[in-house]
């Protein structure tokens, strides 16, 4: 039987076939320009604002959420929202030419939906199918769009110009969010987003925030950590080794291979 794919999916497949690879993708994925932080003065002011908002509003709500909601329920909520992200992962995997990852996203969505109680239990991960997240910022990089300057977004935190576009694009294009917005009224939608944000902030507290404790420059620490994390995400968790690291490794190997000098005669 011949399968008929929707035109939108076929268009994404065609775009995925034009995905950048090799040196072209490496150039697009590079964080060199973002690391220069040409908008640093403004970014530091936004970071100070975000820190204040987090200290006065977001963190207290997340702490209250952790205190009231038992950990198993919080884990179920996190699994539920993670599973709702799989349709968007599927779309971006197709657009990036990653057919195996697209199939995994669909399998995870169906398996967790059926066996995991609408995604509350992550049955797919228990069976060896871990999530492979994708987003619009990564898709734009795969298509050859460079990062642009580093930018600190109000409330949402560190990003780049490309990834900031991708962040808001995903928010608008997410098919699951489009469906829930048609079902929920505006008040219910705001509550749903609030629960999701509180859960995400509680997850950060759960993992710990030691990286920022004792930092002499909190802004620089956050920027550096985020750039490294984002580079790893763009390469699906397998970023290239930096040239400096390769030189250090080569120097160590060379030193290990040098023969020991012969003892001088007495």
Strands 157-160 and 150-153: antiparallel
Count of structural domains within the chain: 1
Q: Give the pLDDT confidence score for residue 233 in this predicted structure.
A: 95
Q: Which spans in the chain are helix H?
A: 7-17, 23-29, 32-36, 40-53, 59-68, 71-84, 86-95, 99-115, 123-126, 136-142, 161-173, 175-183, 186-207, 218-234, 243-257
In a domain, 145, yes or no: yes
- Its domain, for residue 49, covers 14-241
In a domain, 86, yes or no: yes
In a domain, 2, yes or no: no
Tokens of 85: 């992200």
In a domain, 212, yes or no: yes
Q: Give the pLDDT confidence score for residue 77 in this predicted structure.
A: 93
In a domain, 248, yes or no: no
In a domain, 31, yes or no: yes
Q: Give the pLDDT confidence score for residue 162 in this predicted structure.
A: 98
In a domain, 6, yes or no: no
Q: Mean pLDDT for each consecutive 10-residue tract of the chain (266 residues)?
A: 48 58 88 97 97 93 92 94 95 95 97 95 96 96 96 95 95 82 75 82 71 80 94 92 52 49 47
């Amino acid at each position: 039987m011949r399968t008929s794919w929707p035109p939108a999916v076929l268009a994404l497949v065609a775009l995925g076939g034009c995905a950048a690879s090799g040196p072209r993708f490496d150039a697009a994925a590079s964080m060199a320009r973002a690391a220069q932080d040409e908008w640093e003065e403004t970014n530091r002011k936004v970071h100070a604002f975000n820190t204040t908002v987090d200290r006065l509003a977001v963190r207290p709500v997340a702490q209250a959420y952790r205190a009231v909601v038992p950990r198993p329920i919080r884990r179920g909520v996190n699994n539920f929202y993670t599973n709702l992200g799989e349709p968007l992962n599927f779309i971006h995997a197709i657009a990036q030419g990653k057919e195996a990852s697209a199939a995994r996203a669909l399998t995870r969505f169906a398996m967790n939906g059926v066996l995991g109680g609408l995604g509350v239990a992550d049955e797919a991960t228990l069976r060896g199918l871990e999530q492979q997240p994708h987003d619009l910022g990564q898709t734009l990089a795969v298509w050859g769009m460079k990062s642009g300057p580093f930018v600190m977004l109000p409330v949402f935190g560190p990003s780049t110009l490309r990834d900031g576009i991708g962040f808001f694009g995903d928010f608008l294009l997410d098919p699951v969010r489009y469906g829930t917005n048609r079902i929920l009224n505006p008040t219910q939608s705001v509550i749903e987003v609030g629960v999701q944000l509180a859960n995400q902030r509680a997850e950060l507290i759960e993992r710990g925030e030691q990286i920022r404790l004792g930092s002499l420059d909190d802004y620089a620490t956050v920027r550096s950590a985020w750039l490294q994390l984002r580079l790893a995400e763009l390469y699906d968790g397998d970023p290239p080794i930096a040239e400096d690291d390769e030189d250090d490794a080569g120097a160590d190997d060379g030193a290990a291979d040098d023969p020991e000098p012969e003892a001088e005669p007495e």
